[in-house]
Amino acid sequence: MRELTKEQVRQRLAAPNGSELLFGEAEAAFGAAWALFAEEGNAAACAFLCRCAKRQAYAARIGALLGEDRTALYAALRSDAPKLRKNAARLAGALADARDVPALVSALAAEGQRFVRPSLLLALGACGGEEAKAALDAYTVAPPVDAGEERHAREEAEALASARKSFLHLSKHAFSGLPKAYALELRTPDKLEGSLAYELAQHGIAPAATEPGAVSVTAQDLAPLLACRSFFELLFPVARKASAVPELIARYAGAFLRELLPAAHAGEPPFGYRIEVRGEDADRAALAKAVAAKLDGGLLVNAPGNYEAELRIELRRNGSADVFVKLYTIPDDRFAYRVRALPASIHPATAAAVLRYARAYLREGARVLDPCCGSGTLLIERGKLTETGSLTGVDIAHKAIDIARENAAAAHSSAKFICNDCLRFEAKRKYDEVIANMPFGNRVGTHKNNERLYAAMLDKLPEWLMPGGVALLYTMEFTLLKKLVRERPGLTLITETRTEAGGLLPGVFLLRIGR
C-alpha cells in the first residue's frame, strides 16, 4: 500500500469530517498524519490520531513515537491553538498513560477556554492514579458568566462527573427481598395476558389489573410470581402519565430508588443504574442525560456498563411518560436452559403464553410433535406445562438440531430431536399434538415458499395426528393459513388470536383434526 504524502493528508483533513473520512485509509495516512501533528502541530491530524488510538495497535505505535519524554503531546497541550489543546487532551485520554497526568493537571490549571476543559477532565479520568483523582476531587466548575457559556459549563460539569466515576469501584449487591408489598407490572405478550392471569391464579395471586401486554399485581414475596412463565419481565411502576420533564422524572425515580435499593439489598451503596428511554417523539439521549445529571450522587451512579437497576422511561405521544424501575439483582432462572438460540427463535415467555392460551386442549400424557422445532423452545416449554408421553422435534437444519439438543439437556427435558425435512418425516405412531413456530416469511423463508410449505404441512397433519388431535400453530402468515384451513374440510379452526413479537403481529391458531 502506497503511503500518502503530508500534502495529501493535509488536503483530506481540510475537508468536512476529514479526520473521520481519512480513517478509511489509516495505514496509508498514519505516517504523514503523525508528521503533521509532531512537526507542525496540526489539530486535524491530532484528531485523526485520536481516532486511530481507539485501536490497540495504533495506540501502541503512537506511544512508541511519543517516546519517554512525550514532547509532541506536551507541546500540543501548551499550544496557543485551543483546538489543538483539546485534541491533544483527547489523545492523552485515548492513550490512558499515567505518565501524562502531571502535564494534564498543569494544562487544566492553565486552560482558559471552557470548551477545552471537558477533554482534559476526561483524560485525567482515563489515565487514573492518585494524582489524577486528587486533581479531580479538588476541581470545581465555575458558574457560566453569560448565556453563551451555559452549554460549555454543562459539558464541563458532565465531564467532571464522568471522570470521577472512573475511580468508583461499584460492588455487586445481593437481592435480599422486598421490605414490603409493592405494586408490580408483569409484561406479557400482547393479547395473551390471560395466560399469565391463569398462572397467577394457580399460585393464589389475583391480578390487580390487566391491560394489553401487562398484568399488574401487588406482592412482597416474588417466588410465586417467578414460578409463572408467561411473562417477559417484572417492573416496578414509579409514575404514570407524568410530565416528561427531567426534574420531575428524577424526583419521582430518585425517591423510589433511594427507598427500594438499600432496603432490598445486602451491601453498601453506591448502586449502579442505567436509563432506558423508549418512544420516538423526543431526543431520548438528551432526556436520559438530563435525568442522570439530577439523579447521580452518593447512593446512585449512572453506570451503563455496570448497572444493577434500570430506570425505564416510556414516552407517550401527548408529552407525558410512564416511569418504571427494573432490578437485575432479582434472581430469575426461568429460562436459564436457553443456552443458545437462533435468530428466529420464539421467546420462551411467548412460547409459554401461547401454550397456556391452548391449555384447555392440551392434555397430560400427550405425545407431542414439533415439525419446525428450531432451538427447541416450544417443546421444552410444552414439557413444563404438563407431563407428556413424548416430545419429538424435527428440523431440516443440523445447526438447529444441535442447539435444540443443548437447550433440552440444560432444561433436563426428555425431548428428542431428528434432523429431517418435516415434509418427509413419517410418524411411526400418531401424535396427540402438533405445535409449531412456523416460518414467518420475513425472518425465515419467503411468502412464496410458505405458500407451498404451509399447504403441505396442513396436508400432513392428518398423517401426524390422531383423530381429534390438535395443532397449535404460531405464524405471521395468518391470512395464508386461514385460507388454507378453509380449503381443508378435515381441519377445524377451534380458536385464534393475534399477538406481538419484536414489532411483528403474529397469529396463534388452534386446529383440530376432524369436526
pLDDT band at 25; cut points 50, 70, 90: confident
pLDDT above 70 covers a percentage of the chain that reads 98
Residue pLDDT, tens place only, 102-111: 999 999 999 9
Residue pLDDT, tens place only, 446-474: 777 888 999 999 999 999 999 999 999 99
Can you list the positions of beta strands (E) in 149-270? 174-175, 182-187, 209-211, 214-219, 233-243, 265-266
Fold (topology level) of 6-165: Leucine-rich Repeat Variant (1.25.10)
Question: Alpha-carbon distance 163 to 132, whole Å?
Answer: 10
Long-range contacts of 23-27 (CB under 8 A, 24+ apart): 23/48, 23/51, 23/52, 26/51, 26/52, 26/58, 27/1
Quote the pLDDT of residue 445.
56
pLDDT higher than threshold 90 for residue 225: yes
Residue pLDDT, tens place only, 110-138: 999 999 999 999 999 999 999 999 999 99
Summarize the confidence of residues 381-403 as an average pLDDT. 97
Provide the 3-class DSSP secondary structure of residue 228. Answer: coil
pLDDT band at 23; cut points 50, 70, 90: confident
Three cell numbers written together for 350: 411467548
Three cell numbers written together for 354: 401461547
Residue pLDDT, tens place only, 390-399: 999 999 999 9
Class of domain 174-327: alpha beta
According to DSSP, the β-strands at 431-437 and 366-370 are parallel
CB distance 352 to 342 below 8 Å: no
Q: How far is CA 352 from CA 229, 330, 346, 413, 415, in A?
A: 6, 21, 10, 15, 16
Three cell numbers written together for 481: 393459513
Q: What is the largest CA-CA distance in the chain?
A: 88
In the chain, list all ranges with CATH 1.25.10: 6-165
Question: Alpha-carbon distance 159 to 151, whole Å?
Answer: 12
pLDDT higher than threshold 90 for residue 377: yes
pTM above 0.75, yes or no: yes
Choosing among 3.40.50.150, 3.30.950.10, 3.40.50.1000, 3.30.70.1230, the CATH entry for 348-513 is 3.40.50.150
Quote the pLDDT of residue 505.
85
Residue, of 504 and 403, whose pLDDT is higher: 403
Integer-rounded Cα Rg, in Å, for the chain is 30
CB distance 13 to 39 below 8 Å: no
Give me the sign of the Cα torsion angle 294, 300, 304, 309: negative
Mean residue pLDDT of the chain comes to 93
Residue with the three cell numbers 485525567: 124
Q: Which helix H or strand E contains 482, and what residues bound it?
A: helix 478-486
Quote the pLDDT of residue 283.
85
In the chain, list all ranges with CATH 3.40.50.150: 348-513
Quote the pLDDT of residue 18.
81
pLDDT higher than threshold 70 for residue 357: yes
Summarize the confidence of residues 210-215 as an average pLDDT. 94
pLDDT band at 1; cut points 50, 70, 90: low
Residues recorded for the chain: 515
